[in-house]
Amino acid sequence: MNKLKTILIRNQIIFPGEVIGFSSADSNIIKAQLDAYENDEELFILRYKADNEEERKDSAYTETNGVIAKVESVKNKDNGVIEVVVRALRRGKLISLNNYAENEYEAEVEEYIQSDEGFDRMLNSLQLTMRGYSDVNERFKKHILNELLAIDNLPELLDRLRLALNLDYEKKKIINAAKTPVEESMLLMEIMSEAIDRKEIAEKIKSEVDKDISKNQRDYILREHLKVIQNEMAKNSGYETVSDEYEEKLKNLALADEYKEKIKKDIFRLNTAGGNGAEGNVIRTYLDTVFEMPFGVYSEDFNDIIRAKKILDEDHYGLEKVKDRILEYLSVRILNPTGNSPILCLVGPPGTGKTSIAKSVAKALGRKYVRISLGGVGDEAEIRGHRRTYVGAMPGRIVEAIKHAKVANPLLLLDEIDKSSRDYKGDVSAALLEVLDGEQNKTFRDRYLEIPLDLSKVLFIATANTLDTIPRPLLDRMDIIEISSYTENEKYHIAKSYLVPKEVEANGMKDKGIHFSDKAIKKIIHNYTREAGVRNLSRRIGDICRKCARESLEGKKSFKITEKNIGKYLGKEKVRHDEVEKEPQVGMVTGLAWTSVGGDTLSIEVNIMPGKGVLTLTGNMGDVMKESAGISKSLVRSMAKEYDIEDGFFERNDIHLHIPEGAVPKDGPSAGVTMTTAIISAITGKRVRADVAMTGEITLRGKVLPIGGLKEKLLAAKLAGVKTVCVPKENEVDVSELSAEITEGLEIVYVKDIKEVLKVALTD
């Protein structure tokens, strides 16, 4: 550590190898420099941290790093000015700064290089970066690179490289703040890498610009060639120009004269635009779209109701009500072909065959089938098209579908209509109102096409998983056909007659001797799938067929899939069916719920504990179910005297209502009856029959309201071993429409009031 006289400077950073000059007519101002020259001493040059504000003469306002320098010469000019030349020798670090006289400082300085750890590795990295930098800096490559590569001492290389890179003031400040040569090396490599990246980007941009220029020239030449080729082809077809061909097509187009005149104007504009510029391409695309539309082109329907019934029965098992409704519709179409087509909406859980029913209807009628998926569509222009003034304008999906069908009366499937969305670009559901309204869709006007399109002959069939998200005006324009969950027996017949043959053929096992036993199919249904439809059932059968396909290539000749060896192909059983409690319990009631994969049982538990009258709800309930819990508590309070609940009970006790499986979200208006029964059981200590399940919403007066999804709920109750089910009285008509397979073995009690439920469920 050395004590050196110190010079403070502003707006300048000095590195070893650089020379700095000082001059003044007053020798006191440059006294430190003169004394150092006289005594052959070294100086320490340090920079103020701030360049513009008035700093205190304190080390806190100076940089930590400076340079140790030597005065090389002192000259006295004729005008009395003294010039001092100082050369920076090596870098140093400030330890402390002492102001021992006015404008005179002395600093304790230690050497910048304390250790040579990491020097060798950093030297190699610097050399690699310098080589890369030389590729983008020709001056550096020619005059400096080889000299720098010859240096094998890191500090010496850094001294030379700093000067060679010609750093600006801001970069010098960053380099000067480095604490070690290794850190300084990394900063210098970063500066060189940045220059390399900038050069590469600039070259890439130049290359792209050159490519665009050459592409435009090439496109112009090709367009001119194309123009000549098109005219020659038109001449070969008997036309002088392409516009003549369009005019000939226009004569055969089944359109009103006013719209033909409009198209004529576009053909004239195509001639004046030259046909090959930007405007010409837009007009040509529009005209091609118009002439591809099947105006007045209709396919002939098969007016054979017996054939239609046969096709529906061949393609789908069960679904008798759905088939009857479709056959009724087809009968009306046969008797009154000029009438408006109703819009059918098939509503049901995933995998129940909604899309395949639409295909079967198209097959039965002999119509072209086209499908539009509305899931996630949020742009109104997807339905009505874009205006032609926009860049990249195109017709809407309705027009595209009819153009693809090549007839004006296809069967058009609007898939997932409940999942269309609304955003700042418009409301898809509102755009569909015109499409699906029989009074309006005779003159549906697409913004791109700008020609009325008659959609009254199109048979629209929509599909949805739920009606809750479909706006009421749109729902009002559709005829709803509900497709409920399949029973296990129905799934068995579907698998045996449709899914197994389909998957066997799809997986190349048709002639390989594969056979599924009846019990194996039933076990797959019961223990490996839980769903309303048959989609996962088809996948599990496909899993087995794929494993058998591999075994067949390994030499196995025949495959018998039985109840015993099913685990070999599908592993452990995936589905656990809830079973009701064996003995009556206090405060525990079995409810029934509808889910997207069918029905399920829902245990509701209630505990009473001393407190302040707080109702605690747990089990991931939605807002509707929380409201039901609040209504249930109020109803029980209103019935307190009738069930011998002492005064003040609700002020002195807390009620905790819980639905197990808290990670699963639960919501819906059908748990009020179950919650009320559980609360009364917990308060009175009366047990709830273990073999009873219930469903229904409750009012503040105790009236039981009707619910939906009854078929799925009764199936779930049957699987869980329930013997008695309490169902709202208003749902009696729904139960009467169910097959005996569902209701067999269940005692169904119809209830209008909560007291009737409690009479059935509670036991002394």
Q: Is 62 annotated as a binding residue?
A: no
Q: Is 294 annotated as a binding residue?
A: no
Q: Is 353 annotated as a binding residue?
A: yes
Q: Is 181 annotated as a binding residue?
A: no
Q: Is 582 a catalytic residue?
A: no
Q: Is 349 annotated as a binding residue?
A: yes
Please, are residues 606 and 681 in contact by the beta-carbon 8 Å criterion?
yes
Q: Is 497 a catalytic residue?
A: no
Please, are residues 283 and 242 in contact by the beta-carbon 8 Å criterion?
no
Q: Which amino acid is at 164?
A: A
Instruction: Output the six-digit token pair for 419.
Output: 């999942």
Q: Is 354 annotated as a binding residue?
A: yes
Instruction: Output the six-digit token pair for 742.
Output: 């569902």
Nearest-angstrom CA–CA distance, 601 and 591: 6
Helix (H, G, I), strand (E, B) or coil at 203: helix
Nearest-angstrom CA–CA distance, 670 and 704: 10
Instruction: Output the six-digit token pair for 731.
Output: 């749902």
- H or E, element range at 608: strand 598-610
Per-residue exposure over 499-535, b if at least 16 CB sit within 10 Å of its own CB, e if not: bbeebbeebebeebebebeeebbbbbbbbbbbbbbbb
Q: Any residues with CB less than 8 A from the CB of 501 and at least 6 apart, and which?
A: none
Instruction: Output the six-digit token pair for 316.
Output: 């789908």
Give the angle 87-89-91 at the CA atoms, nearest 5°.
125
Q: Is 590 annotated as a binding residue?
A: no
Which of 189, 199, 203, 202 minimizes the C-alpha distance to 135? 199
Q: Is 601 annotated as a binding residue?
A: no
Please, are residues 575 and 674 in contact by the beta-carbon 8 Å criterion?
no
CA neighbours closer than 13 Å in the CB half-sphere of residue 305: 13
Bin 275: left if φ > 0, else alpha if -120 < ψ < 50, else beta: left
Please, are residues 354 and 373 in contact by the beta-carbon 8 Å criterion?
no
Which of 711, 625, 731 minimizes the C-alpha distance to 671? 625
Q: Which one of the listed residues 491, 633, 666, 713 is annotated catalytic?
A: 713
Expressed in angstroms, the distance from the first to the final Cα of the chain is: 97
Phi, psi of 57 (to 5 degrees): -85, 75
Diameter over CA atoms, the chain: 125
Instruction: Output the six-digit token pair for 124.
Output: 């190699």
Q: Any residues with CB less than 8 A from the CB of 16 and at least 6 apart, and which?
A: 67, 88, 89, 90, 91, 159
Per-residue exposure over 644-676, b if at least 16 CB sit within 10 Å of its own CB, e if not: ebeeeebeebebbbbbeeeeeebebbbbbbbbb
Q: What is the DSSP string of 244-283?
A: HHHHHHHHT----HHHHHHHHHHHHHHHHTTTTSHHHHHH
Q: Which one of the listed residues 538, 628, 670, 681 is annotated catalytic?
A: 670
Q: List % helix, strand, coil for the chain (3-state, nearest 5).
A: 45, 20, 35
Binding residues for ATP, by number, are 348-355
The residues annotated as belonging to the active site are 670, 713
